[in-house]
Chains A and B, each alone.
Chain A
Amino acid sequence: MSEATLTRLAEEPPAPAARRALGLPAGTWPRILMPLLIGVLALSAWEIAVRVNEVPHYVLPPPSVIWATLRADWGTLSASLGITLQITFAALAVAALLGLALAVLFAQSKWIELSLFPYAVVLQVTPIVAIAPLIIVWVDDIRLALLICAWIVAFFPILSNTTLGLNSADHNLVDLFRLYRASRFQELVFLRLPSALPLFLAGLRISGGLALIGAIVAEFVAGTGGRASGLAYRILEAGYQLQIPRMFAALLLICASGIAIFLALGLVQHLALRRWHESALRREG
Chain B
Amino acid sequence: MSQPAPPASAPSPAVSSRPLVVLRGVEKRYGAGTLAVRGVDLAIGAGDFVALLGPSGCGKSTVLRMIAGLIAPSAGTIDWPQAAHDAAGVAQPRLGFVFQEPTLMPWTTAVGNVALPLRLAGVARAERLARAAEALRRVGLAGFERAYPRALSGGMKMRVSIARALVTRPDILLMDEPFAALDEITRFRLNNDLLEIWRQTGVTVVFVTHSVFESVYLARRVAVMAARPGRIVREIAIDAPYPRGEAFRTSAEYAAFCRTVSGALGEAIAA
Query: Which residues from chain A sit less than 8 Å from chain B, CB to CB?
Result: 1-3, 5-7, 9-12, 170, 172-173, 175-182, 186, 190-191, 194, 197, 275-278, 281
Residues of B within 8 A of A278 (CB): 150
Contact B68 A179 (CB under 8 A): yes
Given known pairs A179-B70, A180-B121, A190-B119, the reply for A275 and B148 (CB within 8 Å) is yes
Choose among A10, A181, A281 the residue that contacts B147 (Cβ–Cβ < 8 A).
Answer: A10
Contact A186 B147 (CB under 8 A): no
What's the minimum C-beta distance from B257 to chain A, rounded to whole angstroms? 25
Choose among A6, A11, A172, A277 the residue that contacts B103 (Cβ–Cβ < 8 A).
Answer: A172
Contact B189 A179 (CB under 8 A): no
Given known pairs A179-B70, A275-B148, the reply for A191 and B105 (CB within 8 Å) is yes
Q: How many residues of B are in contact with the other chain, CB < 8 A?
A: 38
Contact B116 A190 (CB under 8 A): yes
Residue of chain A at shortest CB distance from B174: A179
Main secondary structure of the interface of B (DSSP, over half): loop
Complex Cα spacing A3 to B156, Å: 11
Contact B148 A276 (CB under 8 A): yes
What's the minimum C-beta distance from A201 to chain B, rounded to whole angstroms? 12
Q: Which 10 A-B pairs have the closest CB atoms?
A: A10-B147, A1-B140, A172-B103, A180-B120, A276-B106, A194-B107, A10-B151, A182-B120, A172-B99, A276-B107
Contact A170 B151 (CB under 8 A): no
User: 5 A–B contact pairs at CB < 8 A?
Assistant: A3-B140, A9-B152, A9-B156, A10-B146, A276-B106
B56-73 residues at the A interface, CB under 8 angstroms: 65, 68-70
Q: Residues 111-129 of chain B: 1 if any A CB is under 8 Å from the residue's CB, otherwise 0?
A: 0000011011100000000
Complex Cα spacing A178 to B150, Å: 25
Choose among A5, A11, A182, A194 the residue that contacts B189 (Cβ–Cβ < 8 A).
Answer: A5
Residues of B within 8 A of A177 (CB): 120
Contact B70 A178 (CB under 8 A): yes
Contact B150 A281 (CB under 8 A): yes
Choose among B69, B103, B149 the residue that contacts A176 (Cβ–Cβ < 8 A).
Answer: B103
